[in-house]
C-alpha cells in the first residue's frame, strides 16, 4: 500500500478530501503521517480526530522556509513513517535541499491556479485582479523553484461575472478536493512517472 506523508500549515481541507477519497476506496493509499509547521493548525487536529499520527515540527526562526535542522526533522519523521510520497496540502514554506533530496521526484503540491499563470501567494486574487476568464488548480511535482515543477494534473475553474476573491477561492478549492485525490491515485498506481521536465503517462 502506498504510504503518504501529508504536510500542511492550515485548516487541512485538502487533507480531508484525500482521507475521504481513501475511505471511499477511490485512492488506494494510506496516510502514514501528518506534519505541520503550525502548532495549532486545523490539519493536525483533524488528523488526530481520524486517529492518524500527527505532529507539529517547529519551523525555527525563518518565515518562508524551515530552518535546515527543522527540515531535517521533517525528513526524519517522514522516513520513520516509511513514506512513499510527500503530499503538500497548504504547506506555506518553501522546501529546500534536505527534503527535496531525500524525496526527489516524490513530492507533490497543489496550487490554486492554472500554472504557469499566477505562481505565489493568493493565486485566486491574482487571477481576479488580472481579469482572466478561466483559472483553476494544478497538481505539480515540487522542485527548488516555486510553483514551477512538472505538472501532474490540472482542472479549469471559470471566473464568473461579479466574482469576489472569496467566492472564486471557494470554487477553486472545491475543484482541488476532486483533483488532488485523483492525481495521487495516478501516482500511487504508477501510471505517471517523472522524466526530467516531463511527466510520462502509461
Residue 5 — φ and ψ, nearest 5°? -110, 120
**Counting contacts by CB under 8 A, is residue 184 touching its own copies?**
no
Distances (CA, A) of 36 to 23, 26, 43, 188: 22, 25, 8, 23
> Rounded distance, CA 184 to CA 31, Å?
12
**Counting contacts by CB under 8 A, is residue 61 touching its own copies?**
no
Residue 75 — φ and ψ, nearest 5°? -60, -45
**Counting contacts by CB under 8 A, is residue 201 touching its own copies?**
yes
Q: Which residues 6+ apart lie within 8 Å of 115 measured at CB?
A: 138, 140, 147, 148, 151, 154
**Counting contacts by CB under 8 A, is residue 49 touching its own copies?**
no
Q: Which of 56, 111, 140, 177 is the catalytic position? A: 111
Minimum CB–partner distance for residue 130 and its own copies (Å) = 6
Whether cis (ω within 30° of 0) applies to the bond prior to 104 is no
Site pattern 155..174 for its own copies (x: CB under 8 A): -x----x-------------
**Counting contacts by CB under 8 A, is residue 151 touching its own copies?**
yes
**Counting contacts by CB under 8 A, is residue 198 touching its own copies?**
yes
> Rounded distance, CA 29 to CA 2, Å?
5
- Name 7's bridge partners: 35, 88
Minimum CB–partner distance for residue 124 and its own copies (Å) = 14
> Rounded distance, CA 172 to CA 182, Å?
16
In a 13 Å sphere around the CA of 85, the CA atoms on its Cβ side amount to: 28
C-beta separation of 193 from 200 below 8 A: yes
Q: Which is nearer to its own copies, 118 or 124 (CB)?
A: 118
Q: Which is nearer to its own copies, 25 or 131 (CB)?
A: 131
From the list 43, 153, 172, 192, which residue makes contact with its own copies (rule: CB under 8 A)?
153
Stretch that binds its own copies, among 19-27, 36-44, 102-110, 150-158 (CB under 8 A): 150-158
**Counting contacts by CB under 8 A, is residue 68 touching its own copies?**
no
Minimum CB–partner distance for residue 49 and its own copies (Å) = 34
111 part of the active site: yes
State the residues that interact with its own copies by CB under 8 A.
114-118, 129-134, 136, 150-151, 153-154, 156, 161, 197-199, 201
Give catalytic residue positions: 111
Amino acid at each position: 500500500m502506498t504510504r503518504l506523508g501529508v504536510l500542511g500549515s492550515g485548516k487541512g481541507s485538502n487533507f480531508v478530501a484525500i482521507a475521504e477519497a481513501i475511505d471511499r476506496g477511490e485512492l488506494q493509499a494510506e496516510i502514514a503521517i501528518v506534519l505541520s509547521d503550525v502548532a495549532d493548525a486545523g490539519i493536525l487536529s483533524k488528523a488526530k480526530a481520524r486517529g492518524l499520527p500527527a505532529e507539529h515540527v517547529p519551523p525555527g526562526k525563518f518565515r518562508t522556509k524551515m530552518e535546515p535542522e527543522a527540515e531535517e526533522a521533517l525528513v526524519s519523521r517522514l522516513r520513520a513513517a516509511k513514506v512513499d510520497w510527500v503530499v503538500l496540502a497548504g504547506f506555506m514554506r518553501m522546501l529546500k535541499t534536505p527534503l527535496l533530496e531525500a524525496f526527489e521526484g516524490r513530492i507533490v503540491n497543489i496550487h490554486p491556479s492554472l500554472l504557469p499563470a499566477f505562481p505565489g501567494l493568493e493565486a485566486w486574487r491574482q487571477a481576479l485582479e488580472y481579469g482572466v476568464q478561466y483559472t483553476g488548480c494544478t497538481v505539480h511535482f515540487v522542485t527548488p523553484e516555486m510553483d514551477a515543477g512538472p505538472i501532474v494534473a490540472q482542472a479549469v475553474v471559470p471566473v464568473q461575472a461579479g466574482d469576489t476573491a472569496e467566492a472564486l477561492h471557494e470554487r477553486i478549492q472545491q475543484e482541488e478536493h476532486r483533483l488532488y485525490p485523483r492525481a495521487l491515485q495516478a501516482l500511487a498506481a504508477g501510471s505517471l512517472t517523472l522524466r526530467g521536465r516531463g511527466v510520462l503517462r502509461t
